[in-house]
Amino acid sequence: SDVGKYKVDVVAKTIRELNPDVELTVLPRAFQFDDVISDNDPDQDFGENESPPIMDRRLAVFSCVDGMAARADLWKMSRQYAEFWGDTRMSGETGRFLTSVGRKQVDEPDTYTGTLYSDDDPELTRGSCTSRSLNCTAMILAGVIVHQFTLFLRGFPTVEDKMFNIKTSEIFDSAEVPV
């Protein structure tokens, strides 16, 4: 049973069962920028055109956190290094997945930043996380975000922002969502 375990440990175990040769860095705690540059001097200043040596490898970030503040922090810390960014969000019967491909400069405009909102906004945080459909929504999102990552690895375009409702069998661009 996976009850009581960190999500990242459960996912890492599953990934390693599928491919024991995969290299993973698992962080069962709050992400810190030092986590990606731990082999270096933490006080080292990387210039605009430099990146920490660990970033010479391909970096994929999957944001599966519960709060918007955590998403915003993770995006801010990793956007200029991540080649693939995958985010999943859910509320009851609805799920949303977002991807961003390619490293983004800190001052570069991007569409993902516009999807972030305050954790305290009651209009945007409505929905029940105790819905009976919650497990189904989570499994669908997991499959979809892995599929998007697979598309990225194969050089195919990914879907930037989609939403679905399993109760009504609707799939739509998030911009088309009636509020």
Of 57-66, 114-123, 148-157, the range with the lowest mean pLDDT is 114-123
Buried b (16+ CB within 10 A) or exposed e, 56-91: eeebebbbbbeebeebbbbbebbbbbbbbbbbbbbb
CA atoms within 13 A on the CB side of 106: 7
Q: Is the pTM of this model over 0.75?
A: no
The separation between the first and the last C-alpha atoms of the chain, rounded to the nearest angstrom, is 38
Q: What does the pLDDT read at residue 40?
A: 43
Predicted local distance difference test score (pLDDT) of residue 158: 92
| Res 39: pLDDT | 47
pLDDT classification of 130: cutoffs 50, 70, 90: low
pLDDT of residue 41: 46
Provide the pLDDT for residue 78.
80
Report pLDDT for 67.
81
Q: In what order do the strands lie in the sheet with 161-165?
A: 60-63, 84-91, 94-101, 161-165, 170-173
What's the CA gap between 4 and 72, in Å, rounded? 26
Single-letter code of the amino acid located at 149: F
Length of the chain: 179
Q: What are phi and psi of 164, to 5 degrees?
A: -140, 160
